[in-house]
Amino acid sequence: MIIAIDGPAGSGKSTVAREVAKILGFHYLDTGAMYRAVSWLALERGIALDDAEALGDLAASERIEFAHEEGNPIATGVSIAGNDVTDAIRTPEIDKAVTPVSATPSVREALVEQQRAIAASDDIVMEGRDIGTVVFPDAEVKIFLTADADERARRRSNQNLTQGYGETDTEAILADLKRRDEADSTRAVAPLKPAPGAVEVDTTSLSIEQVCKCITDIVDSVR
Ligand code: DC
């Protein structure tokens, strides 16, 4: 079974998708981490962020790997071309670079192919912006999470504080979230929008447990 969870930054996707995967014993894939990893490598190699051909080649040729602890299907780290970039992909610099990189059609083509291959043999919860619209339009369960921008900025700030990396100033985060919302929703290729048939859940005043329960109830209803 494939559970597609899409939504804007800070809507609770990662936390909820991980938790739902844990509850159900499914695998989990953070597709945003893949776009971030390609962005990191592009900056590292000095590739111009408007060089679509070079970016596409990079995404198609360099291996992205997720590190797993024994018996835990939730990845604990991500690497690209042999570099562990788990922390490095969460910086404000990458928050900016990922916008042009993820708007590049050839990059999306290469990463969508990898995402489909990863899901080929397992039950999986996959989160991103285009999982229900492009990657798996036939997913059995499609969820679109939203939340007020202020609440999303507050959550991201708390998350970065806890994790010890990334921007923590709420105002700076809010400005960046709004910039990314606008860019992700208006880009020509795979824009962020609810998939046909997706259940929209506004998480602003819901706890993580409530959102997870809502999703696992939907899963139970289609099983
Ligand atoms: O989920 P995230 O904030 O880590 O994602 C980083 C960026 O990658 C986000 O601004 C949009 C892009 N992205 C995308 O275009 N498609 C996806 N499936 C996942 C992320």
Token pair 């562990």 is found at 84
Is the separation of the CB atoms in 22 and 74 below 8 Å? yes
Number of neighbours of residue 136 by Cβ within 10 angstroms = 21
State the pLDDT at residue 71: 82
State the pLDDT at residue 144: 98
Query: What does the alpha-carbon distance between residue 20 and residue 16 come to, in Å, rounded to a whole number?
Result: 6
Query: What does the alpha-carbon distance between residue 220 and residue 223 come to, in Å, rounded to a whole number?
Result: 5
102 lines ligand 1 (CB under 6 A): yes
128 lines ligand 1 (CB under 6 A): yes
What is the per-residue pLDDT across 30-86, written as a single tens digit (0 to 9) for each? 999 999 999 999 999 999 999 999 999 999 999 999 998 888 888 999 999 999 999
In terms of residues, how long is the chain?
223
Residue 10 has pLDDT above 90, yes or no: no
Which pTM value belongs to this model? 0.95
Pick from 55, 144, 70, 137: which is nearest to 102 by CA? Answer: 55
88 lines ligand 1 (CB under 6 A): no
184 lines ligand 1 (CB under 6 A): yes
State the pLDDT at residue 208: 95
CA of 127 to the centre of ligand 1 (A): 9
CA of 85 to the centre of ligand 1 (A): 16
Mutation pick for ligand 1 pocket among 35, 113, 177 (CB with most ligand atoms within 8 Å):
35
Which structure tokens are listed for 87? 């922390």
Is the separation of the CB atoms in 111 and 95 below 8 Å? no
Query: What does the alpha-carbon distance between residue 103 and residue 186 come to, in Å, rounded to a whole number?
Result: 10
CA of 129 to the centre of ligand 1 (A): 6
Which run of H or E residues covers position 151? helix 149-163
Strand order in the sheet with 141-146: 27-30, 124-128, 2-6, 141-146, 199-202
CA of 39 to the centre of ligand 1 (A): 11
133 lines ligand 1 (CB under 6 A): no
What is the per-residue pLDDT across 85-114, written as a single tens digit (0 to 9) for each? 999 999 989 999 999 999 999 999 999 999
What is the per-residue pLDDT across 163-210, written as a single tens digit (0 to 9) for each? 888 889 999 999 999 999 999 999 999 999 999 999 999 999 999 999
CA of 67 to the centre of ligand 1 (A): 20
| Residue at 54: amino acid letter | A
| Residue 11: strand, helix, or coil | coil
Residues 6+ apart with CB under 8 A from 99: 179, 180, 183, 184
What is the per-residue pLDDT across 142-176, written as a single tens digit (0 to 9) for each? 999 999 999 999 999 998 899 888 889 999 999 99
203 lines ligand 1 (CB under 6 A): no
